[in-house]
């Protein structure tokens, strides 16, 4: 009898705990804070050093970059990726509603701050937000200064990973020499040395 009562209390307690957790998630989701809060939690995971971009792609496995990508700049100017051919391109696909994208953005901002004066390395961060104003609002609110673009054409297959964030480093010779599907810490000494060596 005593075990039955304990089991009943444990079940009610577990049910109450799950109810609270579901309630918190629902509040975060419906207030629009879900992405921001989860992004901050994931940002802490980046500090572990486990989330690094793949920078040692063997030459035999390097894919050709596709420069046939039309973009709209933050200032509404049309830009084609082909205009950047011959430079090293840090190409990142993200969205404002994506927590892992939010988590890695401060590391990209830090990387950009360190390399923005290196004229042969360019940053192209492409928002996949359906609503351009939401993407712009997010960038302004966070104070990011790296170059932001929006799609003006379909995504070439070589960049279509089905996952965001996705990041590619395109060499001056037009090869994808580094790639990361999922969030990463781009402010690591190893990655900065890698980009500086190109």
All structural domains of the chain with their residue ranges: 59-196
pLDDT in tens, 142-190: 999 999 999 999 999 999 999 999 999 999 999 999 999 999 999 989 9
pLDDT in tens, 104-145: 999 999 999 999 888 899 999 999 998 889 999 999 999 999
Contact (Cβ atoms closer than 8 angstroms) between residue 74 and residue 146: no
Decide: helix, strand or coil at residue 141: helix
What is the homologous superfamily of the domain 59-196 according to CATH? Answer: Glutaredoxin (3.40.30.10)
Contact (Cβ atoms closer than 8 angstroms) between residue 103 and residue 43: yes
Q: Residue 94 class from Cβ within 10 Å (0-12 exposed, 13-18 middle, 19+ buried)? A: buried
Q: What is the mean pLDDT of the chain?
A: 84
């Amino acid at each position: 009898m005593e075990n039955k009562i304990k089991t009943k209390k444990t079940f009610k307690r577990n049910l109450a705990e799950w109810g609270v957790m579901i309630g918190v998630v629902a509040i975060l989701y419906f207030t629009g804070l879900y992405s921001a809060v989860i992004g901050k939690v994931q940002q802490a995971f980046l500090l572990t050093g486990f989330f690094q971009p793949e920078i040692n792609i063997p030459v035999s496995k390097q894919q050709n970059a596709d420069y046939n990508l039309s973009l709209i700049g933050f200032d509404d100017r049309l830009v084609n990726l082909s205009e950047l051919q011959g430079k090293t391109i840090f190409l990142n696909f993200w969205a404002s509603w994506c927590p892992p994208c939010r988590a890695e953005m401060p590391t990209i901002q830090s990387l950009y701050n360190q390399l923005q004066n290196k004229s042969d390395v360019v940053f192209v961060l492409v928002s996949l937000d359906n609503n351009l104003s939401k993407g712009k609002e997010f960038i302004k609110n966070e104070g990011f200064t790296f170059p932001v673009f929006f799609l003006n054409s379909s995504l070439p297959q070589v960049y279509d990973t089905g996952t965001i964030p996705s990041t590619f480093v395109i060499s001056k010779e037009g090869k994808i020499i580094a790639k990361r599907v999922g969030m990463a810490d781009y402010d690591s000494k190893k990655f900065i040395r890698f980009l500086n060596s190109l």
